[in-house]
């Protein structure tokens, strides 16, 4: 069995319930590891040690009294820096937001606390949560526990790195363009992007904004797929505005693997996958086929990859533009107005998307709705779609301006932001997607595989991840972090 600091949150909760370890003892174990291991990767960037110690002592006292314990009773965990947590700054990596101190906890943090979790710190992000790499002027750069010279992913890069390094028991991240899924892939942990709207994001927004952002969701990362289910059950469900007439009843994966219809999309001209990534997608597909699943590598939804990606890119740009400072947005307006009508360059298109009029956004949203219906028909024929989440394993840090960056796939250079393609398939259509550690590349770095399911099929993709975990697609500690 793995050491305590590498065990899953559900295993740790079980150990606390059974009296094999105390909540305070477990917290001190993680704090000692943060002191010793975190400096090399810079994943945990804020801590509330005294508050966490008091909560751990209270959890131990409650256990001794025999009081009912939640599913995460006493488990130490961290959260992404972008969540509100009373007394701590929520900056989103923006230097001007250093003094933004939360006066209340995000709803998801409240729900995790009600389940017994003990939040003791926050983890690093890129500025405005808008990069595949997690670095900013306030907290510095987060390295990958498998190789600190390489990225941990973004924007929940600190989240995945802290889990992989054994610095925390559980994590909560957020995802608009793969920000839970790509860090899980790069660091070799599990991550789940919920169906849009399933988990209320109140308290995960700057400036007290209450309107949920298009595409963006919040969700868990863990060292096991069981942790994803436990955390999702804790945080899912309507917020107060909807709770008077809505409730959540997610369908489980009741079928045997032999009954599943599995579609596989392992590479695409818009975002070519490396040989190593293709091999791990094929390994997952082969494992399911070996247990009798029907596997189809040719099946696709009834839309083109280009149409889906352009629709996603437009809506993503529009949603992210809401986070821009006024001066930056004004500059985008100027670029859009200055571009010639026949200028279809990436810069001109992004400026147009960032500054869409409501009429134009509505037309693109209608295209998105048609894509969602195409997915609905697709999932009448298939239970899950297995895809990459990123085209390569973790690459070296690159802090040059976005326009100067490239991604190298099997020796060939490609545009940096083509990497949103695989995340966008599920993102634009509001679908759930779970990332499973699927093995390692030739260089020994982790590779994750994405399981996309139908809307509100969150438990089905997570429980399929649990089946795959039992087949050996599981978390493995980084060999050199200690």
Domain count, the chain: 2
Residues 128/94, Cβ–Cβ less than 8 Å: yes
Q: Identify the CA nearest to 119 among candidates 182, 4, 3, 30.
A: 30
Residue 419 confidence (pLDDT): 98
- Burial of 393 per CB tally in 10 Å (0-12, 13-18, 19+): buried
Q: Is 292 part of any domain?
A: no
Q: Does 223 lie in the same domain as 313?
A: no
* pLDDT tens figures, 417-460: 999 999 999 999 999 999 999 999 999 999 999 999 999 999 99
Of 479, 476, 463, nearest in space to 227 by CA: 463
Share of the chain above pLDDT 90, in %: 99
Query: Of 352, 367, 382, which residue constitutes the final position of a domain?
Result: 367
The answer to whether position 130 is within a domain reads yes
Give pLDDT tens digits for 295-350: 999 999 999 999 999 999 999 999 999 999 999 999 999 999 999 999 999 999 99
Q: Does 316 lie in the same domain as 248?
A: no
Q: Are residues 138 and 31 in the same domain?
A: yes
- In the beta sheet, which residues pair with residue 151? 143
> What contacts 416, CB < 8 A, 6 or more positions away?
132, 402, 405, 406, 407
Q: Which two tokens stand for residue 149?
A: 């010279």
On whether residue 329 sits in a domain, the answer given is yes
In a domain, 333, yes or no: yes
Tell whether the model's pLDDT for residue 482 goes beyond 90.
no
Do residues 187 and 312 both lie within one domain? no
Q: Give the residues across from 262 on adjacent strands.
A: 295, 384
pLDDT-wise least confident of 41-45, 204-208, 266-270, 407-411: 204-208
Q: Which residues contact 380 (CB under 8 A, 6 or more apart)?
A: none
Q: Per the domain annotation, does 138 fall within a domain?
A: yes
Give the separation between CA 120 and CA 118, rounded to whole angstroms.
Answer: 6
Q: What is the CATH number of the domain that holds 233?
A: 3.90.1300.10
pLDDT (0 to 100) of residue 61: 98
Model pLDDT for residues 273-300, shown as the tens digit of each residue: 999 999 999 999 999 999 999 999 999 9
Give the integer Cα–Cα distance in Å for 236 and 261.
27
Give the whole-angstrom CA distance, residue 70 versus residue 90.
27
- Examine the fold and report which residue of 321, 345, 367 is the final residue of a domain before the chain moves on: 367
Check whether residue 213 and residue 353 sit in a common domain.
Answer: no
Contact 198, 247 (CB under 8 A): no
First to last CA, the chain: 17
Q: How many CB atoms lie within 10 A of CB 390?
A: 29
Same-domain status, 13 and 149: yes
So which residues are the catalytic ones?
80, 155, 179
CB 222 within 8 A of CB 189: yes
Residues 310 and 173 in one domain: no
pLDDT one-digit tens code per residue, 224-250: 999 999 999 999 999 999 999 999 999
Residues 74 and 143 in one domain: yes
Q: Where does a domain end: 326, 343, 367?
A: 367
For residues 199 and 316, membership in a common domain is answered with no
**Where residue 173 falls among pLDDT bands split at 50, 70, 90?**
very high
Residue 339 CB-density burial (10 A; 0-12 exposed, 13-18 middle, 19+ buried): middle
Q: In which domain, by residue range, is 77 found? A: 4-256
Same domain, 149 and 9: yes
Query: Do 141 and 50 fall into the same domain?
Result: yes
d(CA 441, CA 450): 16
φ, ψ for residue 250 (rounded to 5)?
A: -85, 135
Shared-domain flag, residues 252 and 340:
no
Q: Is 47 helix (H, G, I), strand (E, B) or coil?
A: strand
Residue 270 domain flag: no
Mean pLDDT of 204-217: 96
Alpha helices in 196-301 (DSSP H): 225-235, 275-290
Residue 401 lies in a domain: no
| Residue 233 falls inside a structural domain | yes
pLDDT of residue 50: 98
Q: How does the average pLDDT of the chain come out, rounded? A: 98
Averaged over 171-190, what is the pLDDT? 99
């Amino acid at each position: 069995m793995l050491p305590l600091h590498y065990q899953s949150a559900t295993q740790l909760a079980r150990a606390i319930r059974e009296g094999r370890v105390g909540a305070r003892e477990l917290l001190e174990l993680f704090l000692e590891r943060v002191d010793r291991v975190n400096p090399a990767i810079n994943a945990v960037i804020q801590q509330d040690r005294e508050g966490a110690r008091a909560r751990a002592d209270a959890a131990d006292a409650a256990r001794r009294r025999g009081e009912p314990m939640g599913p995460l009773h006493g488990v130490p965990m961290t959260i992404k820096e972008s969540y509100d947590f009373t007394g701590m700054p929520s900056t989103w990596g923006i230097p001007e937001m250093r003094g933004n101190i939360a006066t209340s906890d995000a709803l998801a943090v409240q729900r995790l606390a009600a389940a017994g979790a003990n939040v003791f710190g926050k983890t690093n992000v890129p500025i405005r949560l808008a990069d595949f790499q997690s670095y900013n002027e306030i907290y510095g750069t987060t390295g990958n526990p498998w190789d600190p010279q390489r990225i941990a992913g973004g924007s929940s890069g600190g989240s995945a790195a802290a889990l992989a390094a054994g610095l925390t028991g559980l994590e909560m991240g957020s995802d608009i363009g793969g920000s839970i899924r790509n860090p899980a892939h790069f660091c070799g942990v599990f991550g789940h992007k919920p169906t849009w709207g399933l988990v209320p994001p109140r308290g995960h927004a700057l400036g007290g904004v209450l309107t949920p952002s298009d595409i963006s969701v919040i969700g868990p990362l863990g060292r096991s797929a069981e942790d994803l289910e436990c955390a999702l059950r804790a945080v899912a469900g309507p917020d107060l505005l909807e709770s008077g007439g809505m409730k959540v009843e997610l369908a489980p994966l009741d079928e045997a693997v032999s009954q599943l219809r599995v579609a596989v999309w392992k590479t695409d001209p818009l975002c070519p996958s490396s040989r190593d990534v293709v091999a791990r997608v094929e390994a997952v597909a082969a494992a399911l086929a070996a247990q009798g699943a029907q596997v189809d590598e040719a099946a696709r939804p009834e839309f083109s990859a280009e149409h889906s990606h352009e629709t996603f890119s437009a809506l993503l740009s529009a949603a992210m533009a809401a986070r821009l400072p006024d001066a930056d947005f004004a500059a985008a307006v100027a670029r859009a107005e200055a571009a010639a009508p026949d200028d279809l360059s990436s810069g001109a298109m992004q400026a147009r998307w960032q500054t869409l009029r409501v009429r134009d956004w509505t037309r693109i949203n209608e295209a998105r709705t048609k894509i969602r219906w195409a997915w609905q028909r697709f999932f009448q024929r298939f239970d899950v779609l297995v895809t990459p989440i990123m085209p390569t394993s973790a690459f070296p840090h690159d802090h040059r301006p976005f326009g100067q960056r490239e991604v190298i796939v099997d020796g060939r250079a490609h545009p940096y932001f083509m990497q949103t393609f695989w995340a966008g398939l599920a993102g634009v259509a509001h679908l759930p997607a779970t990332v499973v550690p699927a093995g390692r590349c030739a260089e020994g770095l982790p590779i994750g595989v994405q399981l996309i399911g139908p809307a509100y099929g969150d438990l089905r993709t997570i429980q399929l991840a649990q089946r795959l975990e039992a087949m050996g697609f599981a978390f493995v500690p980084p060999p050199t972090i200690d």
